[in-house]
Structure 1
Amino acid sequence: MFMPDPIQTHDSDAVLQYLAAARQFKTQEEIATILGVNARQVRRWEARENEPPPYLSYALQQILPLGDSDPDAAKNAAFTFIDLFAGIGGIRQAFDSVGGHCVFTSEWDTYAQKTYAHNYPNNHQINGDITQIAAENIPDHDVLLGGFPCQPFSIAGVSKKNALGRAHGFNDETQGTLFFDICRIIDEKKPRAFLLENVKNLTSHDKGRTFDVIKRSLEELGYTMSYRVIDGAHFVPQHRERILIVGFRNDLNIQFDLHGLDLPPKGERKLGDILHKTDGTEPFLPWDDSAYFDHKNKKPLDKYTLTDNLWTYLQNYAAKHKEKGNGFGFGLVTKDSVTRTLSARYYKDGSEILVSQGKNKNPRRLTPRECARLMGFPDTFKIPVSDTRAYKQFGNSVVVDVMSYIANAMSTHLT
């Protein structure tokens, strides 16, 4: 029996999704042989008579093709794309919405894979480490999408690595070099276009030398690129500045300028647009199963309200740094606010975005569902992981509305 890596775990629903996809290529008997069980057991899983072990998810993925297995869907799509460093699929959601068809996915984090699998049922596997996949084995595609890891270039990431005496940028031996995996795939597959996303600090890292390498590398591959830093506050009630890099292959003679796009005014959307409604109009989402909101009492669950100890600590911490002239402190917001950037560390204390609940009550964190809304994900987006994992995933994601705006602009040159 093929034994999966023990960290590659998904719940039973995800296993059944992969089983259904695998059944397009293998019989029950063949799958049973691969998994080391009898065919009767496979039939019971399919009939929902009992639940399959969660660890089988990884083994079932190996039955699926490396890339897309539905040529008709790809043929009928406006264009095809691959989703690299996919996270929970924020960029994919945008390109799906304008008629694209995903033919390949890569994401190494198993918890992100779980969320991705729940929201984008594929008949191709979610591939792990992109460095281990030969470029020639990746399906042909029109557009390469990649929110490549930003920690080596972010202000926080650089500061942390400096403190630890570790390299950053392209000298980072793990995440920093992943940009060159994008380059080798572009060089091999020659897609019509690409969209890359990273932190604002990418342009200034190492006095601009890092970005010079990125720009020169992409231009030498035969692409004309345009880049722009865009704040998510144009679309959602959150300040989140990220650099977007768009390139089109030179032979297509496409003039595309990100700076020529007219963005909506900042700050038109307020936090109240995404907060749970306490007037009885909050929708009941069966897939959330009241995990975040108490519909009976019309309020977010009490567990999201800060404890007295944590609230006291945060106030004292802010006061101490204020005396020193530092800006460190919590971000207290109301329904009329535009928030700070939601970070992957939000699960620790929620300090960057604390929702005021009045003078007589401690503030609260956003719930994971509110975080999803703050990042532009629709309420149909499922959150199958713990609160801690959800906060990390949304804090590492893209603002879907920003990506949709760019996807729509790019699609006019792809269809």
Structure 2
Amino acid sequence: MSHPTQNHDSEAVLKYLAAARKLKSQEDIAAILGVNARQVRRWEARESDPPPYLSYALQQILPLENNDPHAANNAPFTFIDLFAGIGGIRQAFDSIGGHCVFTSEWDTYAQKTYLYNFPNNHQLNGDITQIAASEIPDHDVLLGGFPCQPFSIAGVSKKNALGRAHGFNDETQGTLFFDICRIIDQKKPRAFLLENVKNLTSHDKGRTFDVIKRSLEELGYTMSYRVIDGAHFVPQHRERIIIVGFRNDLGIKFDLHQLELPEKGTRKLGEILHKTDGTEPFLPWDGDAYFDHKKKKTLDKYTLTDNLWAYLQNYAAKHKEKGNGFGFGLVTKDSVTRTLSARYYKDGSEILVSQGKTKNPRRLTPRECARLMGFPDSFKIPVSDTRAYKQFGNSVVVDVMSHVANAMLPYLALEKESARTRRSKIAA
């Protein structure tokens, strides 16, 4: 499997940077990206390579280009973003030059965060079950972090006994995976990328994954899947299954197990924690919501109260006596954390940052959670702390998605396919 070079990604970022510099100063751009002006100067002088994820942030400085009705035709490939959440998967595919033509996310709070960061040139749609596949634009890639649901097998064995085909329409009806299938069946995209919890293969005693695999293969796709730990890219253990498929007629052999990953655990928590030495960047969209820049410290509200800290310690001690592993996860700047969950807002117990022996530990701030999930500091958080914790706990590690997206890119940026050409290939 071939891989695009880092230089290719950097050139794309530098193109947007050059266009942005016609409108704004280095200092203004640095503030938008959450870096210092010296770093912007180094990128322009080609003394260092800018990270690929900055592409989208820089495009936001160019509103006319971002809203160009011909953008889909000019992009190397188009994609749709289903079960979009706050846009973690989109962030990755935007960064390699893709153009999003359709988005669906039912949660109104996630929609708010999504729209703050991805001002669409198309409507953000809600419940995907209420949208006909024919109403969705043609696209090259379908993306979706779909919810995991058990499939009913009632009636399937009877139909098999009668020699009647059932296919995905019968087996998946009533699940959200069915909506992925019906869209793929109608639109025949070049490829798809799906994401789910690592235990998907064993869910419902393996029935769920059997139906998923068989349904996608019946639709004419060859799929590859692999569980990847976010700890290869960020200081967090977060194992998720990635499923990639390409249409059979394209003749593409894509194997996720051939994808080389950075060594696990090399990135430590200290890289994403707020800096107390005066180097923490001031982000205009955050202000002092999470960090006091004058006092150079994280806000006191993130430190656990004496009562909560005592409760968590007693709870852990009680379960330790019973031989259970339940308890809090105390971490330092040299740690790789447990998985950030959507329940983090309750007590923060899975990731508590040590503040020494004289002070109670603290929760991560929402900005630190964003960093832990691989979101750049240019990503805006327009919701309450509680909502932000839920959203980041439900999201994907952007760096994992970017790594897979880059591996898929050589097979996405090929000749353009019209809907008629696509369907004729399938029929042949």
Matching residue of 2:393:
395
State the 1:149 CA deviation: 1.5
- Kindly report which structure 2 residues correspond to 1:287-366, keeping only aligned pairs within 5 A, or say none: 287-366=285-364
Matching residue of 1:245:
243
1:134 paired residue among 132, 142, 156: 132
2:144 paired residue among 131, 143, 146: 146
Specify whether residues 152 and 239 from structure 1 end up closer, same or farther in structure 2 by C-alpha distance, changes over 3 A only.
farther
Q: Deviations over 1:335-393 (max 9, x none)?
A: 00000000000000000000000001000000000000000000000000000000000
1:258 paired residue among 252, 256, 259: 256
State the 1:293 CA deviation: 0.1
Q: Deviations over 1:231-269 (max 9, x none)?
A: 000000000000000000000000100000110000000
CA contact (8 A) 2:149 2:208 kept: no
CA contact (8 A) 1:90 1:400 kept: yes
Matching residue of 1:8:
none
Counterpart amino acid of 1:112? A
Secondary structure of the residue aligned to 2:301 is helix
Q: Quote the Cα distance in structure 2 between the aligned partners of 1:188 and 1:292.
A: 46
Which structure is higher in RCO with an 8 Å CA cutoff and minimum separation 6?
2
Secondary structure of the residue aligned to 1:105 is strand
Aligned residues between the structures? 330
Q: Quote the Cα distance in structure 1 between the aligned partners of 2:121 and 2:79.
A: 15
CA contact (8 A) 1:311 1:362 kept: yes
CA contact (8 A) 1:149 1:175 kept: no
Structure 2 gap segments, 5+ residues each: 1-65, 152-167, 414-428
CA contact (8 A) 1:149 1:176 kept: no
- Kindly report which structure 2 residues correspond to 1:40-189, keeping only aligned pairs within 5 A, or say none: 71-150=69-148, 177-189=175-187
Specify whether residues 378 and 176 from structure 1 end up closer, same or farther in structure 2 by C-alpha distance, changes over 3 A only.
farther
Specify whether residues 352 and 175 from structure 1 end up closer, same or farther in structure 2 by C-alpha distance, changes over 3 A only.
farther
The ranges of structure 1 where at least 4 consecutive aligned residues each deviate by more than 2 angstroms after the TM superposition are: 68-71, 150-153, 173-176
Secondary structure of the residue aligned to 1:196 is strand
Identity %: 90
What TM-score, normalized to structure 1? 0.78
CA contact (8 A) 2:150 2:208 kept: no
Q: Quote the Cα distance in structure 2 between the aligned partners of 1:186 and 1:401.
A: 26
Counterpart amino acid of 1:190? K
Specify whether residues 272 and 292 from structure 1 end up closer, same or farther in structure 2 by C-alpha distance, changes over 3 A only.
same
CA contact (8 A) 1:152 1:176 kept: no
When the two chains are superposed, the root-mean-square deviation of aligned CA atoms in Å is 1.8
State the 1:174 CA deviation: 12
Q: Quote the Cα distance in structure 1 between the aligned partners of 2:67 and 2:180.
A: 23
- Kindly report which structure 2 residues correspond to 1:368-387, keeping only aligned pairs within 5 A, or say none: 368-387=366-385
Specify whether residues 152 and 388 from structure 1 end up closer, same or farther in structure 2 by C-alpha distance, changes over 3 A only.
farther
Q: Quote the Cα distance in structure 1 between the aligned partners of 2:257 and 2:174.
A: 27
Matching residue of 2:276:
278
Counterpart amino acid of 1:382? K
Specify whether residues 404 and 354 from structure 1 end up closer, same or farther in structure 2 by C-alpha distance, changes over 3 A only.
same
Counterpart amino acid of 2:82? L
Structure 1 gap segments, 5+ residues each: 1-67, 154-169
1:214 paired residue among 212, 226, 249: 212
Q: Quote the Cα distance in structure 2 between the aligned partners of 1:145 and 1:241.
A: 18
Q: Deviations over 1:282-333 (max 9, x none)?
A: 0000000110001111110000000000000000000000011110000000
Q: Deviations over 1:155-177 (max 9, x none)?
A: xxxxxxxxxxxxxxx9xx99971
State the 1:132 CA deviation: 0.0
CA contact (8 A) 1:200 1:229 kept: yes
What TM-score, normalized to structure 2? 0.75
Q: Deviations over 1:61-85 (max 9, x none)?
A: xxxxxxx985410000010000000
CA contact (8 A) 1:146 1:197 kept: yes
CA contact (8 A) 1:98 1:411 kept: yes
Secondary structure of the residue aligned to 2:193 is strand
Secondary structure of the residue aligned to 1:104 is strand
Q: Quote the Cα distance in structure 2 between the aligned partners of 1:341 and 1:110.
A: 25
State the 1:150 CA deviation: 3.7
Q: Quote the Cα distance in structure 2 between the aligned partners of 1:113 and 1:150.
A: 21
